[in-house]
Amino acid sequence: MFGRVLIANRGEIALRIIRACRELGIEPVCVYSEADRDGPWLRHAEQAVCIGPGPAPESYLRIDRIISAAEVANVDAIHPGYGFLAENAHFAEVCRDCEIEFIGPSPEAMARLGDKIAGRRLAKSVGLPTFPGSEEAIDDPEEAVSLASEIGYPVIVKAAAGGGGRGMRIARNEEALRAGLESARQEAAAAFGNGAVYVEKFLERARHLEIQVLGDKHGNAVHLYERDCTSQRRHQKLIEEAPAPGIDPEKRDRVAHAAADLLRAANYSGAATVEFLMDANHDFHMLEVNTRVQVEHPVTELVTGVDIVKEMIRVSAGEPLSITQADVRLSGHAIECRINAEDPDRNFMPQAGLIEHLSAPGGPGIRIDSHARAGYRIPPNYDSMIGKLIAHGPDRTAAIARLRQALREFEIGPIRTTIPLHLRLLETAAFVNADFDIHYVERYLAGE
């Protein structure tokens, strides 16, 4: 087992990894930017090293400084968290070259699954249903047009190297497709340095589901069932839950097993999430594979009892997975709200600045993953999520009731947060009856 692990991240996920390290008897080492000098999680690390000024390209994305910090702090491994360098195959390679374990997949496995086009091909080979769409990047608009007439409009143009909803265009007819190809290509080249795009079918009323999977270095892989992340705004998740309400369990089981097969086929060790859109027939269509731990991992931890972050560290150190597929059982229902420092009444304007007061909820079945506290000054340089509130109960109704009460008890100010919005969303018929699709939040906000 590792003696020391460096956490190449910040905020709530850094705190999460610190906790997993301490439980495993590992000394956590943190890196921080000058903007995070007063980060409340740092005091729980064994050592903290400043790696640059606030802006991420000068600090949390500086591979050279992170590796230097790893060397001066004498660590055995680096956990990248999510975002930043977590899905950067080059960073994983540099770690390997410097003989520091990267807590995640090998650079080859990461590249194999992280590239959307190559990932789709591998998925097809293990029988994972993907969207009807192009096998490879499309350069010729005529090819795109003929493919679209085959699979039927509406279609969506997507960036191969993309994520976060950028480099995407929906097209309902040929004219829109031609225009969309051009603008998606340009946006992708600007955002990701890679203008390759592909085309696939677009589902009008889809639900976003994802399967959590874990693999080790001994060829074992298990799935931890699914999460439902249909509550989104601009492709950013707001509320996530496990298990997914009202889906076909046989279809889910088939897809979950295939997801584990995918990891084995890719020689993948670590945590991964396979994301899908589910149509009205409860058929799954793969979107992409995320080769990292995800923000919403707590809901899976609560319903399966598996500590995903500890498993990541263990398998990276060469241990086999601590569970077999037969050991994985679902118990109860968990729902997570992402608490963002944003003003939902002012177009989700990010709120940087001092948290003057903070009073967190508690009670049975309440989990809070957050680095925020009274007196903490939110820096303006990073994303606006200041914590996650998760409620677990014996069934979905109980979980919703617990979550509502916890949101009511959660006091943060004077900065605005999305807590009031979560309370309103949890009252909608769409959410309560799980009669929703990935655009329901936007329709709700638009006043429908």
Partner 1 sequence: MIDIRKLKELVRLMVNNDLMELDLRDETEQVTIRRPSVNVPPQVTTAAPVAMAGSAPVAAVPIASAPAAAAPPPAEAADDRHAIESPMVGTFYAAPSPEKPPFVKVGDSVGPDTVVCLIEAMKVFNEIKAECSGVVDEVLVSSGTPVEFGQPLLRIKAR
Instruction: Give 357's contacts (C-beta < 8 A, 6+ positions apart).
Output: 374, 411, 412, 413, 414
For partner 1, the closer CB: 48 or 355: 48
Question: What residues are annotated to the active site?
Answer: 292
CB of 26 to partner 1, least distance (A): 20
CB of 381 to partner 1, least distance (A): 15
Please tell me the distance from the alpha carbon of residue 312 to that of residue 309, in angstroms, as a whole number.
Answer: 5
Please tell me the distance from the alpha carbon of residue 431 to that of residue 230, in angstroms, as a whole number.
Answer: 9
Among the residue ranges 63-71, 101-109, 197-205, 316-324, the one whose residues contact partner 1 (CB under 8 A): 63-71
For partner 1, the closer CB: 37 or 377: 37
CB of 94 to partner 1, least distance (A): 9
Decide if residue 46 touches partner 1 (CB under 8 A).
no
For partner 1, the closer CB: 73 or 188: 73
Decide if residue 67 touches partner 1 (CB under 8 A).
yes
Decide if residue 78 touches partner 1 (CB under 8 A).
no
Question: Of 38, 43, 96, 98, which one interacts with partner 1 (CB under 8 A)?
Answer: 98
Among the residue ranges 43-51, 377-385, 412-420, 429-437, the one whose residues contact partner 1 (CB under 8 A): 43-51
Please state the separation of Cα 209 from the chain's center in Å.
Answer: 12
Decide if residue 38 touches partner 1 (CB under 8 A).
no
Of the candidates 337, 384, 383, the one whose C-alpha atom is nearest the C-alpha of residue 83 is: 383
CB of 91 to partner 1, least distance (A): 14
CB of 80 to partner 1, least distance (A): 17
Decide if residue 51 touches partner 1 (CB under 8 A).
yes
Of the candidates 60, 43, 42, the one whose C-alpha atom is nearest the C-alpha of residue 51 is: 60
- 292-to-81, 85, 87, 105, 153 alpha-carbon distances in Å: 7, 10, 7, 8, 33
Decide if residue 73 touches partner 1 (CB under 8 A).
yes
CB of 52 to partner 1, least distance (A): 5
Please tell me the distance from the alpha carbon of residue 176 to that of residue 185, in angstroms, as a whole number.
Answer: 14
Question: Of 15, 35, 45, 69, which one interacts with partner 1 (CB under 8 A)?
Answer: 69
Of the candidates 143, 184, 130, the one whose C-alpha atom is nearest the C-alpha of residue 162 is: 184
Please tell me the distance from the alpha carbon of residue 31 to that of residue 211, in angstroms, as a whole number.
Answer: 31
Question: Of 3, 23, 72, 377, which one interacts with partner 1 (CB under 8 A)?
Answer: 72
Range list of H helices, 232-380: 249-265, 297-304, 308-316
- 153-to-150, 175, 196, 234 alpha-carbon distances in Å: 9, 12, 21, 22
Tokens 């944003």, residue located: 342
Decide if residue 50 touches partner 1 (CB under 8 A).
yes
Decide if residue 55 touches partner 1 (CB under 8 A).
no
For partner 1, the closer CB: 98 or 190: 98
CB of 380 to partner 1, least distance (A): 19
Instruction: Give 98's contacts (C-beta < 8 A, 6+ positions apart).
Output: 67, 70, 71
Decide if residue 65 touches partner 1 (CB under 8 A).
yes
Please tell me the distance from the alpha carbon of residue 422 to that of residue 212, in angstroms, as a whole number.
Answer: 24
For partner 1, the closer CB: 21 or 73: 73
Return the half-sphere exposure (C-beta side, CA atoms, 13 A cut-off) of residue 136.
3
For partner 1, the closer CB: 71 or 345: 71
Decide if residue 99 touches partner 1 (CB under 8 A).
no
Please tell me the distance from the alpha carbon of residue 312 to that of residue 216, in angstroms, as a whole number.
Answer: 8
CB of 100 to partner 1, least distance (A): 11
For partner 1, the closer CB: 47 or 325: 47
Decide if residue 423 touches partner 1 (CB under 8 A).
no
Decide if residue 75 touches partner 1 (CB under 8 A).
no
Please tell me the distance from the alpha carbon of residue 215 to that of residue 308, in angstroms, as a whole number.
Answer: 11
Residues forming contacts to partner 1 in the complex (CB under 8 A) are: 34, 49-53, 59, 64-65, 67-69, 71-73, 98
